[in-house]
Amino acid sequence: MLRCRKQPTPNNIFDRSALSPSKFSAVDAALKDLKLLSRRLHKALSLQQTESQVLERLYYKSKNQHHSALFWRRVCEMRRFAKRLLEFDVTGVVDGLRATFFRDADPSNSKSMSSSWSRYADEKYISSVISSLVSFSSLLQKMHERLGETYKSFSLAMQTGAFIQLTLTLTAIASRIAILVSEIDDTVQRTREVLTRLSAVLMRVKISVLNDFCDLIFIGL
């Protein structure tokens, strides 16, 4: 299973004035998209946390009686994946990046990022955030795959008629979590697309600055 990665941090922050005005609209559009995607992530992860809490209560209530049952292995696996998903703190990663565009912004306070952006982080930092999202997406896809197998396992367990109420509840939880995981992954994929677009804008700025520097050297010669 994937391990939680340390949240990326920017090495350099540049003032908005260092960016060509022709790039402002592209950054505006990207930040607007990131704001909407952040809201979607927060909503889906809040629902996921609720499902995880239900699963936790059910786990501790039933583990002594069912820990040796075959289907209980699936319960333990589903619980581990659910914990890993929340521990990754993907909203912290995304909101942390958004906050770098606003002076004195608090990543946990969306209102502090409602004004006009005044600065931007280096392209390398954005690339590291994209890399984190790739890792998180891999976790989500693996989790969705295993949840499909878990759902089938619980469905078969129900056919035996044993512990019908418990397996019915677990099947419902697995189904709801699978839907949420799919939604979260879709949002993460869209976030990656926006960041790739933003990274390309800042990369062009970097190349432009380098070309200007080379021109100055040439003129000096």
Strands 13-15, 119-121: pairing kind: antiparallel
Beta strand segments in 29-164, E: 119-121
160-190 tens-digit pLDDT:
777 889 999 999 999 999 999 999 999 999 9
Q: 94 with 41: CB under 8 angstroms?
A: yes
Residue 209's pLDDT band (boundaries 50, 70, 90)? very low
The pLDDT mean for the chain works out to: 89
Residue 117's pLDDT band (boundaries 50, 70, 90)? very high
Q: Which of 152, 157, 151, 156 is nearest to 176 (CA)?
A: 151
